[in-house]
């Protein structure tokens, strides 16, 4: 079974600074997808960024980028120019690409990000 580990329960960053959230995962599969979801205080999870395992190029979405190291099974999220609205719980998630998985997501425990003004 796949597992996702987020080793940082909490992180804080100053507004306008850069912060990196860590995520590692364990799988024996070669084809899969990785996601970062953001869960603000309203508690609706919002997709931040996604990465296909077969792509070597790291995904970027505006101020958000990932450092995907497939061999190390590492998938960190970098937030540049942090804004107060980035404060939220961030979840790393894994999704198998095998046909029998029905696309369920396996989540890490989350990292609570605080942005200080």
Partner 1 sequence: EPEVTQTPSHQVTQMGQEVILRCVPISNHLYFYWYRQILGQKVEFLVSFYNNEISEKSEIFDDQFSVERPDGSNFTLKIRSTKLEDSAMYFCASGKGLAGYNIQYFGAGTRLSVL
In angstroms, rounded to a whole number, what is the distance separating the alpha carbons of residues 74 and 53? Answer: 11
Contact flags string 6-35 toward partner 1, x per CB under 8 A: ---------------------------x-x
In angstroms, rounded to a whole number, what is the distance separating the alpha carbons of residues 36 and 83? Answer: 17
Q: What's the min distance (Å) between Cβ of 6 and partner 1?
A: 9
Residue range at the interface with partner 1 (CB under 8 A); choices 12-20, 38-46, 65-73, 80-88: 38-46
Judged by CB under 8 A, the residue of 42, 57, 71, 117 near partner 1 is 42
Q: What is the DSSP string of 69-83?
A: ETTTTEEEEEE-S--
State which of positions 75-94 bind partner 1 (CB under 8 A).
91
Q: What's the min distance (Å) between Cβ of 7 and partner 1?
A: 13
Residues of this chain that bind partner 1 (CB under 8 A): 33, 35, 37, 42-47, 50, 52, 91, 95, 101-110
């Amino acid at each position: 079974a796949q597992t996702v580990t987020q080793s940082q329960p909490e992180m804080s960053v100053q507004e306008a600074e850069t912060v990196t959230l860590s995520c590692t995962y364990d799988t024996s599969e070669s084809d899969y997808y990785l996601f970062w979801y953001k869960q603000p205080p309203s508690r609706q999870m919002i997709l931040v960024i996604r990465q296909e395992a077969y792509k070597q190029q790291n995904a970027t979405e505006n101020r958000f980028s990932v450092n995907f190291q497939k061999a190390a099974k590492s998938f960190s999220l970098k937030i540049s120019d942090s804004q107060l609205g980035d404060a939220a719980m961030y979840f790393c998630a894994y999704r198998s690409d095998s046909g029998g998985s029905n696309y369920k997501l396996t989540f890490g425990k989350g990292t609570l990000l605080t942005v200080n003004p």
